[in-house]
């Protein structure tokens, strides 16, 4: 077994942090609540690696929860950001950079004919919801249990990510009047969605989903489910919205909608398109997007939306990603990782269900199959906790929750994967 890490400095800083910020963090999942032990405090990141303030190095499979798909602090991104910095950090006025990134997103993502930039995935999802309701004149929406669309009130119903991680009931402070319009169905269950449309005829503005789920752990859609949702929403006069904040430019350059050949009416984006700086976006059919102020009546605004640094980092990131061979590389390196983990788990007698698509992967400590959050919840959370801690001690940084996905990058090498699998062999043997 690897020797326990020296995390003296992390412990001190995290202890102080808990006096300053709720839970000592700026976002709940970072507090390691569901895996126990104190989180390590990062000092710096580079490529596939992270270093904590005690000098411990980790192979990083969180990648800042998705943005670091090219590898942390990619030299090309850092270089153009440094140049952009000299021209100022925020304009609050139109810039050519917004045009450039908008053109790249419109060219890449099948559903997007027009796009609006915001500052987070949450902002993108809450804005797209307002737009869906305005365009259809309907108020109800359908989401799926375990899916997470940011922390706006109307989405905090059977949400995934940190809500699932912490086992929170739907959050206090969210008025019933808000969530009463949010209907839920199990992921991959088309009949349940059809039943809701039958129950609420002409009242449902649309269906929003993570086309490949990352916030209930990694759950792949059935092709018929996605194709069926497209057909059903069309027939019902409702909109189909893919929340591709996590999958956008990760599952494929055109996102999950390109990979699965299903084109929604609207799409939300974030993470990768900001290259590590705060960005979100929503886009879709021109006739819908032209309802957004000031072109149309649907109000949405943001001081730092489209700021030059985030646009610059996003443009540089997409320029790297659109190079030939990118997604083939991500597919190969991630398949090596997940197949290796599955093989080792079987060898050591642990039930493990998992998979990957491009640079996104996940696994559940259970036999599977896992097609929905309801099934994901049967996983052995205690075994996940012990595995996570063992891997951390061995220098491998995994998402600190059974209900999160993992991420690789163009900087991860086969050597990193082999190091990870060697660590997993040890940890699984002693689990």
User: Do the bridges between strand 114-118 and strand 280-284 make them parallel or antiparallel, or are there none, so unpaired?
Assistant: antiparallel
Q: What is the DSSP letter of 275?
A: T
Instruction: Give residue for tokens 């640094």.
Output: 309
| CA triple 136-188-138, angle to 5 deg | 10
Q: Which C-beta is closer to ligand KE4: that of 149 or that of 389?
A: 149
| CA triple 115-217-122, angle to 5 deg | 30
Task: State how far the Cα of 406 lies from the Cα of 61, in Å rounded to an integer.
Answer: 6
Q: Which C-beta is closer to ligand KE4: that of 309 or that of 428?
A: 309
Question: Per the residue annotation, which of 140, 259, 271, 377 is the catalytic one?
Answer: 271
Q: Which C-beta is closer to ligand KE4: that of 219 or that of 428?
A: 219
Residue 271 annotated to the active site = yes
Task: State how far the Cα of 361 lies from the Cα of 353, in Å rounded to an integer.
Answer: 11
Chain residues that interact with ligand KE4, rule: CB under 6 A? 27, 29, 65, 120-122, 125, 148-150, 161-162, 210, 214-215, 243, 245-246, 270, 280, 404
Q: Which of 205, 193, 204, 211 is nearest to 110 (CA)?
A: 211
Residue nearest to ligand KE4 (CB): 121
- State the nearest-atom distance from the C-beta of 88 to ligand KE4, in Å: 24
Number of H-type helices and E-type strands within the chain: 15, 14
Tokens at 86, concatenated: 């000299």
Q: Which C-beta is closer to ligand KE4: that of 63 or that of 393?
A: 63
Residue 243 annotated to the active site = yes
Task: State how far the Cα of 271 lies from the Cα of 277, in Å rounded to an integer.
Answer: 8
Q: Which C-beta is closer to ligand KE4: that of 29 or that of 410?
A: 29
- State the nearest-atom distance from the C-beta of 122 to ligand KE4, in Å: 3
Question: Are 247 and 360 contacting, i.e. CB atoms less than 8 angstroms apart?
Answer: yes
- State the nearest-atom distance from the C-beta of 150 to ligand KE4, in Å: 4
Tokens at 209, concatenated: 């989903």
CA distances from 186 to 100, 141, 142, 162, 190 (A): 38, 14, 10, 18, 9
Q: Which C-beta is closer to ligand KE4: that of 13 or that of 279?
A: 279
Question: Per the residue annotation, which of 52, 243, 265, 416 is the catalytic one?
Answer: 243
- State the nearest-atom distance from the C-beta of 128 to ligand KE4, in Å: 11
Question: Per the residue annotation, which of 49, 58, 61, 148 is the catalytic one?
Answer: 148
Q: What is the CA radius of gyration of the chain?
A: 21
Q: Which of 367, 364, 368 is nearest to 381 (CA)?
A: 364
- State the nearest-atom distance from the C-beta of 325 to ligand KE4, in Å: 26
Task: State how far the Cα of 290 lies from the Cα of 284, in Å rounded to an integer.
Answer: 10
- State the nearest-atom distance from the C-beta of 165 to ligand KE4, in Å: 9
Catalytic residue numbers, as ranges: 148, 243, 271
């Amino acid at each position: 077994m690897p020797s326990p890490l020296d995390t003296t400095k992390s412990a001190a800083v995290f202890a102080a942090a808990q006096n300053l910020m709720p839970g000592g963090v700026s976002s709940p999942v970072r507090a390691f609540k569901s895996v126990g032990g104190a989180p390590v405090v990062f000092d710096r990141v580079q490529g596939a690696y992270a270093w904590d303030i005690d000098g411990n190095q980790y192979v990083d499979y969180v990648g800042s929860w998705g943005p670091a798909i090219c590898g942390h602090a990619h030299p090309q991104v850092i270089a153009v950001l440094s140049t952009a910095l000299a021209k100022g950090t925020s304009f609050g006025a139109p810039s050519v950079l917004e045009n450039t990134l908008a053109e790249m997103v419109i060219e890449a993502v099948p559903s997007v004919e027009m796009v609006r930039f915001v500052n987070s995935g949450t902002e993108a999802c809450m804005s797209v919801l307002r737009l869906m309701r305005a365009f259809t004149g309907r108020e109800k929406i359908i989401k799926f249990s375990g899916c997470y669309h940011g922390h706006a009130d109307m989405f905090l119903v059977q949400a995934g990510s940190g809500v699932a991680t912490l086992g929170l009931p739907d959050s206090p402070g969210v008025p019933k009047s808000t969530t009463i319009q949010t209907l839920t169905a199990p992921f991959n269950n088309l009949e349940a969605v059809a039943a809701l449309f039958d129950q609420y005829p002409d009242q449902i503005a649309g269906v929003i989903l993570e086309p490949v789920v990352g916030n209930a752990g990694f759950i792949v859609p059935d092709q018929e489910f996605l194709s069926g949702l497209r057909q059903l929403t069309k027939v019902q006069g409702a909109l189909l919205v893919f929340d591709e904040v996590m999958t956008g430019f990760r599952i494929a350059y055109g996102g999950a909608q390109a990979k699965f050949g299903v084109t929604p009416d609207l799409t939300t984006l974030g993470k990768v398109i900001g290259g590590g700086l705060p960005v979100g976006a929503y886009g879709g059919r021109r006739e819908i997007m032209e309802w957004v102020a000031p072109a149309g009546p649907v109000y949405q605004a943001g001081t730092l939306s489209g700021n030059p640094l985030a646009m610059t980092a996003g443009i540089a990131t997409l320029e790297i990603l659109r190079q030939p061979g990118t997604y083939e590389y991500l597919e190969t390196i991630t398949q090596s990782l997940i197949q290796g983990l599955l093989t080792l788990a079987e060898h050591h007698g642990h039930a493990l269900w998992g998979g990957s698509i491009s640079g996104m992967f996940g696994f559940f400590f259970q036999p599977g199959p896992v097609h929905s959050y309801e099934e994901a919840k049967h996983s052995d959370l205690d075994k996940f906790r012990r595995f996570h801690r063992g891997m951390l001690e061995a220098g491998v940084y995994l998402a600190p929750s059974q209900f999160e996905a993992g991420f690789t990058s163009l900087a991860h090498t086969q050597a990193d994967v082999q190091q990870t699998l060697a660590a997993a062999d040890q940890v699984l043997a002693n689990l």
